[in-house]
Every structure is written in C-alpha cells, then in structure tokens.
Amino acid sequence: MEKTPIAVLISGRGSNMIALHEAMRKQSMHAEIACVISSSASAEGLQYARENSMPAISYKPELWRDDQQVTDAILHTFSEYHVQLVVLAGFLKKIPEAVVRAFPNRIVNIHPALLPAFGGKGMYGRHVHQAVLDYGCKVSGATVHFVAVDYDTGPPILQECVPVKADDTAESLAARILQLEHRLLPKCVDLLTRGKVQIEGRTTRVLE
Ligand code: GAR
C-alpha cells in the first residue's frame, strides 16, 4: 500500500513533528512526511527535518503578511510534494481560509488543552497552560482536531486528559501534556491514513 504523503507545519522546536517522524520509523505506518513547512526560518525543528532528509521549507517572512501570496505558496508546495494530509504541529500562524477549503477534513491540528476550553486566538503554548492554572482546573489534556476556518473550532478526533497537580507550574503542566501529545498525534495520523476516522457533521467516529 502506498504511503500517504504528509506535510507538517511547524513554528518552533518541532517536538511533535519529531515524535511523528520517530513513530513512522518505529512502527509501520501508511504515512510519510513529504515536507516540513515552517513559519519561521529560525525554527529549531527545521534542522531536525534537514538532518533527516526531509524537505524543509520556510518562505520569505513578508509572504506571511499577504494572505493570497501565502495561500499560493502553501498550495504550490502541497502540490509539489503530492500532499494528501496536513498536520499542524505547533504551527502558530492562521491557515488561510482558501487552504482550509482546498483540503476539507484533511488538515489536523494538535492543541495542548481540552477544546473548546482554552482555545482560540492567542491561546498557544505557555499561555494555554497558565490560563488553565489561573482558572483552577483539575484536569487538562490535549486535542487533535480537524482544522476549520476559525482557530481551534473544528471537530475533535482524539482527546485525552491529564491531571492538574496542586504544585503545577505552566512549565510542569506543559511537559506532562507534551508527553501525551507525542503519543496522541502519531496515533491520530495513523488512524486517518488507515481510513479509520469517519466524520458526520461535527461528530467524528474512530473505527478501531
Ligand atoms: C505544542 O504543545 C502544541 O500543542 C502547541 O505548541 C507546542 C509546540 O511544540 N500548539 C499550540 O499551542 C497551538 N495552539 P512543538 O513545536 O515542540 O511541537
């Protein structure tokens, strides 16, 4: 069976991209990373991608300020690498609407909280975990969801919880959730590329 070519979009350290790549190496998955696109040329994750022979792409910074130009560039890259599935792994830019519409239910994002809580514009990385602690939550977690036009609003595919501990800091909570993310994201990609995720309206069903 042919492997599904995947684009992974990152903005920083890229540990979720690395976890996905390692999972692909360790277990037989019907997926391969066809290209890594970063919103920043200095993202640490790009180095790992290059060292591991993955095409590592960062567009000129001005491009991200022009919706049409960035849409054209992303769609051109997807076409060049025959991308079938897109994974946002710590990607902090908004995906242009035209890209979302060109890849219906084929773009997924990992978010470090239990959506719809603690999602939306400005809710990324440490901000999410600090907001969870400030609210006094007893659990948090991670969500992998389909990407819709608005931030963090698409149907969830996988969600799992972790406890919030009394002495947690944003950093300790982030570290606990990151471990979960590194398991959840490869699992979700595996399910999607084996055709094990059905979607009806907002409801996804995982067939295992
Ligand atoms: C991850 O925790 C990811 O869930 C989060 O950024 C981190 C990126 O880490 N994404 C968001 O907050 C998106 N709203 P990584 O670059 O090491 O994968």
Residue 205 phi, psi (nearest 5)? -130, 125
Residue 207 maps to a domain: no
The structure tokens 């993310």 sit at: 181
Give the pLDDT confidence of 141-179 residue by residue, as tens digits: 999 999 999 999 999 999 999 999 999 999 999 999 999
Residue whose CB lies within 8 A of the most ligand 1 atoms, among 37, 152, 181, for a mutation test: 181
* CA 88 to ligand 1 center in whole angstroms: 9
Domain that holds residue 168: 4-196
* Listed residue (112, 200, 194) closest to 208, CA to CA: 194
* Atom 1 of ligand 1, nearest CA residue: 90
Residue 8 phi, psi (nearest 5)? -110, 125
* Listed residue (94, 78, 91) closest to 4, CA to CA: 78
CATH code (residue 75)? 3.40.50.170
**pTM for this predicted structure:** 0.97
pLDDT value at residue 194: 95
Give the pLDDT confidence of 51-102 residue by residue, as tens digits: 999 999 999 999 999 999 999 999 999 999 999 999 999 999 999 999 999 9
Distance CA 41, CA 30 (A): 29
| Cβ–ligand 1 contact at 119 (below 6 Å) | no
* Structural domains counted in the chain: 1
Give the pLDDT confidence of 13-51 residue by residue, as tens digits: 999 999 999 999 998 899 999 999 999 999 999 999 999
* Listed residue (74, 112, 91, 65) closest to 11, CA to CA: 91
| Cβ–ligand 1 contact at 129 (below 6 Å) | no
pLDDT higher than 90, residue 1 = no
Helices 15-26, 44-51: crossing angle, 10 deg rounding: 20
